Structure 1
Amino acid sequence: MTDLMLNYFRQKQQKVQSEHTFDTQCPFCSMQCKMQLIEQRIVTRKKQKTVGKDNPTSEGRLCVKGMNAHQHALHHNRLKQPLLKVNGEFQPVSWEVAYQTIQERFQMIQNTDGQDSLSVYGSASLTNEEAYLLGKFARVALGTKYIDYNGRLCMASAATGANLSFGLDRGFTNTLQEVPETRCILLAGTNIAECQPTMMPYFEKAKENGAYIIAIDPRETKTTQLADLHLKNKPGSDIAIANGMLKILIEEQYIDPTFIETRTEHFEEVERYVTSLDLNEIATVSGVSVDDLYQAAKVFGHEDSGMIFTARGIEQQINGTETVRGFLNLLLATGKIGKKYSGFGAITGQGNGQGAREHGQKADQLPGYRSIENPNHRAYIADIWGIKESELPGKGVSAYEMFEEIESGSISSMFVMCSNPVVSNPNANFIQSALKKLKFLVVVDLFLSETAKLADLVLPSTSYLEDEGTVTNVEGRVMLREASYPIQGEAKHDWQILCDIADRLGKGTYFSFPSAEAIFEELRLASQKGKADYSGITYDRLRKEEGIRWPCTSKNDPGTERLFEETFAHPDGKAKMAVVKNQTLKQKPQPNNNYPLYLTTGRVMSHYLTGEQTRMSPSLAAREFEAYVEMHPETADFFDIKENSLVKVISEHGWIIVRSKRSTSIRKDTVFVPFHWTETQNVNRLVADQLDPYCRMPGFKISVVTISPVR
């Protein structure tokens, strides 16, 4: 080697002064892909890139969000010290001042307004440890019944539907590894290709293996393009499709009488109802032809295995619980549940949407999927927490209803952790108005979000790169997220913040945790013998086994790959079929002279939830830098809307202004707006505050609007 070449390599080596690798996990969707951040220091500059890491769920794949997640975590706008609002302006303060302020204000408010005047609003992006601790914090440190979380806006219908039908909710009843071998797949209201891109190869492999894929969606998407049959229905009509398919399955004798007799209840009532329906009426209501209904039902009934996957498209409706149960009826009637290559998958949206709803953030829940209204469950958790059962508060209200309690004066203060309810809730103008009425609002976040801007005190938390803990992915697989990146500024882990505040409120003995793992050890005990039993899972096992599917009842238990093989989780072991009536469609908004179009909402691949994190990533923001309204060209012409022009979208609840986007992939009576943007682009300003009667899910997916050009 020449001296010139040696000198070149020496110079190159000197420039790359160091390289560090940090194992972590994507903070976004429910696939929870394992990945590594590789950071090089070149002279005085740092250069980062993220690469996928092999694991059983995503097999080393990453989508564009995961590859660029570090950009928001390392963004210069990260909150790095507490901010206290003084005379309408935020001022940096020490943690001591922040904690002292919380102690004084919380105690003063409870002394004057009562114990339940404080409230807690959580998140499905928290780790299991922090979700568990937040529930304990509300009920033990604050002593309030008012706690709920943003997962109420995401997974509540599927969770409630599965609990009512099966007695248990664990996202997927089977593993992802079974998907390629199933013979028929029904995708109801899910756009996997854009929402969970690293899951898509499982369905592509199924298609290669000859599976017949049916998609139900008012729009043509990258997911529906994979389908053999696309039922392009009217928004909100999914329940009618499920009932129509079941009518055909029964009349064409594609049901499994033995399975129905031995493993289900209430089939006779369901049969009586669906066979009384008129398929021509269903076709009119849904916009799906009778021929297509027959095609979907006959293929699903004929094949010896089948899976149904649902997501927000059918769940974010005011009859979402019943709609989910309608599709579960199809599985139960054909016996396609509890065996290989047949089952149900509720495709979780948020990163820890599964685990965060299992361990106590919901108003009606205690850890391990226990009920806060069950005396035995209350006694068990009270014993774990070292308090009297009588000291545990009762059931509160759902996420949206907490803002109604603010409006009525029952709630005076709110503690928001890792959520942005001003943007994510329906009737968003009302949410903003309610928050402004609070006597004291505390927000814990990475950035000064739209909700944080309204706060009296903002506390900086750590990102996924810095905060170790477990999450439960879409399969019900508990995974350990390693996190060793240096903490940014004075930020603290969410669990540390909760422990510190509890200590200032005189409850420190109940929150003396030195690490996330110590919290998980208590969670294991709290979940033991509950429906979501994590008691056999440890950090050591998670490192060695790359994740374990619950329930896992002992350290020798490998976990549960497939649910309901022999029995369902109801006390009698039988699944409960349900009569779900098409009449509930009449409760939904219908186009009229003033608002002649359906509005539906959803995601785009490059953004996540309210966009607070992804819009801080230059690489992601550049892909989709503003919201838009997608409409059919004929619809655009009728309303005199030009391509790429500004459009005012109006409902009876508010208005937004977004860019027009013409597309033949959407129904002529429907427009679509993604929900990742804020202010005058926040589509949730247009959504009504009607709630599902069973799970209190808002009806995000169906509103009625009119549109006009902005001159």
Structure 2
Amino acid sequence: MAIQWKKSVCPYCGIGCGLMVGIEEGKVVNIHGMKEHPVNCGESCTLVHNFAPLFTDRDRLTQPMIRRNGTLLPVTWDDAIMYVAHEFHRIIREYGPGAIAFYGGAAAFNEEYYLINKLMKGYIGTNHVECTSRLCMASTAMGFISTFGADAPPTCYADIEEADLFLIAGMNMAVSLPVIFNRVCAARKAKGARTIVIDPRKTETTAIADVHLQIRPGTDVALNNALAYILLEEGFVHEEEVAHYTTGLDDLKLILKEYSPSRVARITGCTQEQIFKAAHLIGHAKAMLTFWLQGYNQSTQAVFKNNTLHNLSLLTGNFCRPGAGPLSIAGESNSLGSRWMGVQSHLLPGMRFVTNPVHRQEIADFWGIPAEKIQSTPGRSIIDIIKGLHTGEVRALWVMSSNPAASLPYTQWVTEGLEKAEFLVVQDILHPTETTVLADVILAGAQWSEKTVTLVSSERRIELAEKILEPPGMAKPDYEIICLIAGAMGFSKEFSYTSGEEVFEELKEITRGRICDMNGVSYERLRNTIGPQLPCPKTDHPGTARLFSDIRFPRPDGRAALLARDYRKLAETADDDYPFILITGRLASQFNTGTRTRRIKKLTDIEPNNFVEIHSADAQRLGIIEGDEVEMASRRGSIRCIVHIKDHVLESNVYMNLCCGNSPLSEDDKQVNFVCNTVYDAHSKQPELKCCAVKITKVASI
């Protein structure tokens, strides 16, 4: 039988690469990039090429399970759904709706998250609804909102070919976003575009930099302020013109007086010469495109980092035109879509906020419920949900398509919180995971290509992920499971959907007239063409490549905000007891904490053991050689790992990958999140997963 090829879109990172999935005798036999897709033009990363084994992995969930007498046992769907509904009702009756919380993964899809919001915020009445976008892009979202007025990435990937300067901050693009990195490299070669990379570690990405600003971890705000200082002092800013489309220039100039290049050189560890060179590249650029990721976002100063980076674009007119502006690319496939569907505790669907009475009334009218049913105060962030499990204020947690026992900081504390849950429901495609082993109920979900749903990429492009295979055994699409639970709780009429398409036709109405407008989109259109970029308000609309091209922003006065932000030190700094600052990152062969990819032998064999990178001078002082086993400890926990001695990090810094989970998927505890900190940015509530203080001790050989 010849291979049949089906069109789809990648379920991993937020780029949204078009894929072709090869099916033979009912099995996926090959996956490769779609040549005609404008995002990746046939390219794809190693994760995609090795996805097929997940369809037949021995740990695929094929039916629901309930814990009885301490053991998880297979049950029917009727038993599982009725048990979940009964326990949710009991907890609401005894403790109120605020005792129930939800946490999902940003790789889940629009239809699923619309339904979760409708059920949890609209009908149950709890705003404790979160997803992993809180760990990934919450700070980017708050940076966009505070600077520009909306969580709406304004640029597009086509700007890469138009730019003459790339500013890449807080990410190893070559590893985390290889398809985009290849486009950046091609643009450099084709038109001589220059590159500034800001990273405390030497990486594959810094290798292409014209200027590598190897700053001390967490000093980005000071650096950005120094760059703005030079731009203003040396006449690169047309102040009268900037004042037409921004507010706050005078306040910014006042605070920048404290950020002279000489002072910032001492703060960051960069030389004044490097800072001036970077500022001059920005000042002379005709079109600067900025990129950033978790090195910015997972920080207690994350929103300020975003704001000060945007200041550089606004001061130099690098905005609202081809090749210029901020290009944020999420770490998970539907991070933007999940936010637009309202899956954070302060949001409602369609880019609305629970604190806004007009927004609450709009959503209540749409759902046909009293406005007072929707709580007017934001719910708990995921870190605060775990705190609530510890205190008993949160009694039940419903987890979908996520593995918080591996992905959240301070793993032991998170696990203890999940164990304290009175009722833990985990809806996933795999078992065991670090989270499913703690569950009272496991619900077997269908994964990508086993259901038909939509997602929104980081350039606001909406795409259809078509059902290609039947889910294994009794597994069901997540939207169907949500509807079954809602129905069993007494909301059958309100959740009587028969397909993802029916859900989509409803949810797109709630986006009408907004930046996320999907009303020109249908499943049929997405099946027949490449998905358009949003907003796309009408069926004959081609989509919107760039936002705010009229230099009008969705703020009350129509102007963007230049924000004066002061630098603050890391929440946890090195001291005599914990003399190293740990920074974290990704492997090209693994995705996030590796819940899926660690099961794929070809990927795991590339780097089977987690390791810590140590500077040679520090290794010499500690009496450590290449390949030694060390214990790395923080104030929260410790892990053991192998040493790689490389001068990629600064002295007194160490680096570790986040891809290795703890038990049950590995023999030893190697997950870096055992030592990471739960503190978070006050504005975005995104945890500071990237930096914490640790000590390193050589493990004595037996």
- Do the structures match in fold with TM over 0.5? yes
450, 473, 487: which is aligned to 2:434? 450
- Residue pairs, 1:78-97, within 5 angstroms: 78-97=60-79
Tell me what 2:233 maps to: 251
- Superimposed CA distance per residue, residues 531-588 of structure 1 (whole angstroms, 9 cap, x where no aligned partner): 4222222222223330111122222322211111111111211001111102x22x52
Output the amino acid matched with 1:643.
E
Matched, 1:433 2:416: yes
Output the amino acid matched with 2:428.
D
Measure the CA separation in 2 of the matches of 1:619 and 1:193: 20
Shift of 1:141: 4.1
Tell me what 2:696 maps to: 707
Instruction: Please list every run of at least 4 consecutive aligned residues from structure 1 whose deviation after the TM superposition is greater than 6 angstroms.
Output: none
Measure the CA separation in 1 of the matches of 2:240 and 2:159: 24
- Superimposed CA distance per residue, residues 142-185 of structure 1 (whole angstroms, 9 cap, x where no aligned partner): 322211111101101111001110112223x2221121221111
Shift of 1:98: 0.4
Output the amino acid matched with 1:421.
P
* Matched position secondary structure for 1:377: helix
Name the stretch that deviates more: 414-423 or 387-396. 387-396
Count of aligned positions? 689
Output the amino acid matched with 2:115.
L
Tell me what 1:156 maps to: 138
| 1:270/1:482 CA distance change after superposition, 3 Å | same
Matched, 1:302 2:291: no
Matched, 1:176 2:157: yes
- Residue pairs, 1:376-391, within 5 angstroms: 376-391=358-373
**% same residue:** 30
Name the stretch that deviates more: 187-196 or 250-259. 250-259
Measure the CA separation in 2 of the matches of 1:46 and 1:408: 47
Matched, 1:202 2:186: no
Measure the CA separation in 1 of the matches of 2:370 and 2:382: 27
Measure the CA separation in 2 of the matches of 1:408 and 1:151: 25
Q: TM-score, normalised by structure 2?
A: 0.96
261, 279, 285: which is aligned to 1:279? 261
Contact 2:397 2:423 in 1 (8 A): yes
- Residue pairs, 1:3-152, within 5 angstroms: 17=1, 19-41=3-25, 48-54=29-35, 55-152=37-134
Output the amino acid matched with 2:365.
D
Matched, 1:512 2:493: no
Output the amino acid matched with 1:687.
C
Shift of 1:18: 5.5
Structure 1's unaligned 5+ residue stretches are: 1-16
Contact 2:300 2:571 in 1 (8 A): yes
- Residue pairs, 1:651-670, within 5 angstroms: 651-670=634-653
Contact 1:338 1:565 in 2 (8 A): yes
- Superimposed CA distance per residue, residues 268-295 of structure 1 (whole angstroms, 9 cap, x where no aligned partner): 0001111232322211111111110000
Tell me what 1:373 maps to: 355
Shift of 1:645: 2.1
Output the amino acid matched with 1:673.
M
Output the amino acid matched with 1:183.
D
Tell me what 2:607 maps to: 624
Name the stretch that deviates more: 528-537 or 339-348. 528-537
Q: TM-score, normalised by structure 1?
A: 0.95
Shift of 1:301: 0.6
Matched, 1:344 2:326: yes
Tell me what 1:564 maps to: 548
Measure the CA separation in 2 of the matches of 1:219 and 1:73: 36
Tell me what 1:576 maps to: 561
Measure the CA separation in 2 of the matches of 1:46 and 1:374: 48
Tell me what 2:383 maps to: 400
Tell me what 2:220 maps to: 238
Name the stretch that deviates more: 156-165 or 27-36. 27-36
Shift of 1:687: 1.3
Shift of 1:218: 1.0
Matched, 1:685 2:674: yes
510, 534, 540: which is aligned to 2:524? 540
Give me the CA root mean square deviation.
Answer: 1.5
Measure the CA separation in 2 of the matches of 1:483 and 1:618: 26
Contact 1:239 1:580 in 2 (8 A): yes
Contact 2:515 2:534 in 1 (8 A): no
- Residue pairs, 1:600-679, within 5 angstroms: 600-679=583-662
Contact 2:39 2:157 in 1 (8 A): yes
Tell me what 1:4 maps to: none
Output the amino acid matched with 1:431.
V
Contact 2:616 2:645 in 1 (8 A): yes
Measure the CA separation in 1 of the matches of 2:21 and 2:102: 33
Contact 1:27 1:69 in 2 (8 A): no
Output the amino acid matched with 2:594.
G
Measure the CA separation in 1 of the matches of 2:231 and 2:603: 45
Tell me what 1:357 maps to: 339
Output the amino acid matched with 2:690.
K
Tell me what 1:189 maps to: 170
Output the amino acid matched with 2:427.
V
Contact 2:9 2:463 in 1 (8 A): no
Tell me what 2:478 maps to: 494
Measure the CA separation in 2 of the matches of 1:76 and 1:37: 21
Measure the CA separation in 1 of the matches of 2:489 and 2:201: 51
Measure the CA separation in 2 of the matches of 1:573 and 1:396: 30
Shift of 1:46: 6.4
Output the amino acid matched with 1:685.
F
Tell me what 2:665 maps to: none
Shift of 1:380: 1.1
Measure the CA separation in 1 of the matches of 2:674 and 2:292: 25
| 1:535/1:19 CA distance change after superposition, 3 Å | closer
Tell me what 1:523 maps to: 507
Measure the CA separation in 2 of the matches of 1:688 and 1:52: 38
Measure the CA separation in 2 of the matches of 1:256 and 1:607: 45
Contact 2:27 2:469 in 1 (8 A): no
